[in-house]
Amino acid sequence: MDLDLDEHARAFRAEVRDWLAEHVPGTPLPSFDTAEGFARHREWEALLADARLSAVAWPEEYGGRDASLLEWVLFEEEYYAAGAPGRVNQNGLFMLAPTLFSHGTAEQRRRVLPPMARGEQVWAQAWSEPDAGSDIAALRSTATRTDGGWLLSGQKTWSSRAAFADRAFGLFRSDPDSERHRGLTYVMVDLRAEGVRVRPIAQLDGEPGFAEIFLDEVYVPDADVIGEPGDGWRVAMTTANNERGLSLRSPGRFLAAAARLVDLWRREEAADPALAGRVADAWIGARAYQLYTYGTVTRLAEGAELGPESSVNKLFWSQLDVALHETALDLLGPSAELRGPWLDGWLFALAGPIYGGTDQIQRNTVAERLLGLPRGPR
Amino acid sequence: MRFALSAEQRQFAESLTGLLSAADVATVARRWAGGEHEPGLKLWRRLAEVGVTALAVPEHRDGLGAGAVELVVAFERLGYHGVPGPWTDTAAALPALLDDELLAGVAAGETLASLRWDPHVPHALDADVADTRIAVDGTDLRVFTPGRSLSGVDGSRRLFEAVPGDVIASCPDPGRAFDQAALATAAQLLGAGRWLLDRSVDYARQRVQYGRTIGEFQAVKHLLADVATRLELAGPLVYGAAVALDAGGDVPRDVSAARVAAADAAYLAARTGLQVHGAIGYTAEHPLGLWLAKVRALTGTWGTQAFHRSRVLTALRAGSVR
């Protein structure tokens, strides 16, 4: 049992650290949920891709560098420690790409991944519907067979990044007689296609981080179906585990936030000493998540698969993120209400217990699939 | 990096599980609480035979000179099964406190030690049964005489006042001994928390109310899921601190972080376990109370939560953040 890095990992980490020190913008980019910020973040993704740093764990042929899972975790630690811009294409990089690696065709990977890595195609997710939130299997948007493809109709909502994104992926009911998890198909769709209407929705911070997507007989070719038609639920579970598990919110993000919280605590000498314990707990939580992840990476490297423990992950980081930012705001005292990175971070953290399966859904998963408690009514 | 137990370490844990599962430890602990030491000493010797008391003793004192990871593996199992006795004092702290021939007796399972360590351990554990009694006073090691016996929440932790006497030796750096004891306490808390979770899950699967097992109710599920999450995340901190002890790192910071998280998780497991069991868990007839009491007792010994949080903060203030 050790926490040592081999020479390759150390060299990789040093390269990433140096590159970021040289390239991370001195002033933060505007929010990627504004038109200007979105464009600036797209340019940043292209810069990352030029250094083959936008998707380090991918195979080289798609723009990655075949980094190990551990090296990807190290990349993330360096990335957030450097205060680098948020990943505007995170839906694509961390949800769609793993799904394509598991269930896509070689043609799909060749066509979709390189422009994703360069930020030329930014992806939105299209899961939720007005009547299908936590209960995603209640979705009603349809995919109807047509010559050489499918016609999509219906409404998706709470679609992150859809206001400015190029394409979206999600589940559609392809068998009109099916119910629940059966008869669903996983589809990629062009948000500029005929029949698509996108209505941006302002989030708590006032920026359109969400959108509704209205689809009226939007044509998608067979080539844009991932996995077999009707098998979409199983395909989507890969995405769900990735979102909840390792890839969407890696420890680097929380370690960096905890380090900034420690800095804030050291500066705010007038703050209530009673807050010190919460600063300690925030750092301890981030460190715990880092070490837990190193354990997960070890297990995955030895052939295990990410299962219900991805719900343990999500439950932990979503609550850690809220507590950490609440502590920062309490340290800031009466200035906490002013616009600034901690207020923005707190608003962002508040979404964590909701997206990617609410904390309540995660607790059901942990209780039933990890602890073996009986399934009951929802 | 390979942050997981080796096959040998897993095997060691499994052998301890096998030994302790067959030992009816709850009865041993109850008799120990009543001052009847023989079954507990017999169990002590059996654990010594498989190496538990020799782990931290150096090889030139007939010990195994094993690492802190092995120590954590053993103490987690001791905590899970609620094994009584001055294990932390004898097998975790003492071997790092002095290099003396009495360690050969520790390794062999013949010597039991009881420590007083101001201000963290003011009351000496099992000082009546221990044959080596040491009060740590800065860098001075003094003998102590057991005084009045004290009644505590965990009856199997028999506590005594300790009256320090002459200096018998000195320990220039007692920090390692303290950290090994604090880490062993964290490991016991982790184990006790896991026992509480396992028994609570068992109970929720068989207890029927309103015509269904209570484990079907989300109100119960969500309580237990939170316990599982906290324990899952405390474990890596405990093992990470062991790696820091073995291979270098910010030891005080990492040991204290582990202790804070393990104690909080174990206490949540205890409170939740009692709530899930309901009235039966509140009786002295049910074993749940033994573990509940042990968790509360261990949370205050070898450093309080406030002490350990302050050690983490001291490291962070000094810039030891990564």
Assess whether pLDDT exceeds 60 at residue A243: no
The values of phi and psi at residue B256, to 5°, are -65, -40
A124 neighbors A88 (Cβ within 8 angstroms): no
The values of phi and psi at residue A123, to 5°, are -110, 140
* Mean pLDDT for chain A overall: 94
Query: Strands B159-170 and B140-150, how do they pair?
Result: antiparallel
3-state secondary structure of A196: strand
Per the rule left: phi > 0, alpha: psi between -120 and 50, beta: everything else, A7 is: alpha
Distance of alpha carbon A64 from alpha carbon A116, whole angstroms: 11
Assess whether pLDDT exceeds 70 at residue A239: no
Assess whether pLDDT exceeds 70 at residue A246: no
What chain B holds in terms of domains, given with CATH numbers, is 175-317 (1.20.140.10)
Nearest to A284 among B217, B221, B261 (CB): B261
Assess whether pLDDT exceeds 70 at residue A101: yes
Assess whether pLDDT exceeds 80 at residue A73: yes
Residues A63-88 have a mean pLDDT of: 96
Q: Positive or negative CA dihedral for A91, A97, A98, A99?
A: positive
B86 neighbors B126 (Cβ within 8 angstroms): yes
Q: What is residue A249's predicted lDDT score, i.e. its pLDDT?
A: 85
Query: Nearest residue of A to residue B315 by CA position?
Result: A280
Query: Nearest residue of B to residue A10 by CA position?
Result: B1
Q: Which of B293, B262, B258, B307 is nearest to B120 (CA)?
A: B307
Assess whether pLDDT exceeds 60 at residue A245: no
Smallest CA–CA separation between A32 and chain B, in Å?
A: 29
Residue contact A2–B257, C-beta within 8 A: no
The contacts of residue B161 (CB under 8 Å, 6+ apart) are B123, B124, B146, B147, B148, B149, B150
Distance of alpha carbon B307 from alpha carbon B130, whole angstroms: 27
Beta partners for residue A171, in sequence order: A186
Per the rule left: phi > 0, alpha: psi between -120 and 50, beta: everything else, A296 is: alpha
Q: What is residue A244's predicted lDDT score, i.e. its pLDDT?
A: 54
Domain formed by A249-370, architecture: Up-down Bundle (1.20)
3-state secondary structure of B223: helix
Q: Long-range contact list for B96-99, CB < 8 A, 24+ apart?
A: B96/B56, B96/B176, B96/B177, B96/B180, B97/B134, B97/B136, B97/B141, B97/B171, B97/B174, B97/B177, B98/B141, B98/B169, B98/B171, B99/B58, B99/B61
Predicted confidence (pLDDT) per residue in B210-220, tens digit = 999 999 999 99
Complex ipTM above 0.90? yes
Amino acid at B310: S
Smallest CA–CA separation between A311 and chain B, in Å?
A: 9
Amino acid at A325: H
Count of CB contacts below 8 A, A vs B?
158
Query: Which CATH class name applies to A123-231?
Result: mainly beta
Alpha helix segments (H runs only) across A139-275: 232-244, 251-267
Distance of alpha carbon A224 from alpha carbon A187, whole angstroms: 6
Q: Is A61 a catalytic residue?
A: no
Residue contact B225–A6, C-beta within 8 A: no
Domain extents in chain A = 7-88, 123-231, 249-370
Q: Is A182 exposed, middle or buried (CB count within 10 Å of its CB: 0-12, 13-18, 19+)? A: middle
Q: Which two tokens stand for residue A337?
A: 């209400």
Q: What is residue A304's predicted lDDT score, i.e. its pLDDT?
A: 86
A108 neighbors A223 (Cβ within 8 angstroms): yes
Residue carrying the six token digits 């001291």: B314
Beta partners for residue A151, in sequence order: A144, A219
Assess whether pLDDT exceeds 70 at residue B320: yes
Query: Strands B140-150 and A167-173, how do they pair?
Result: unpaired
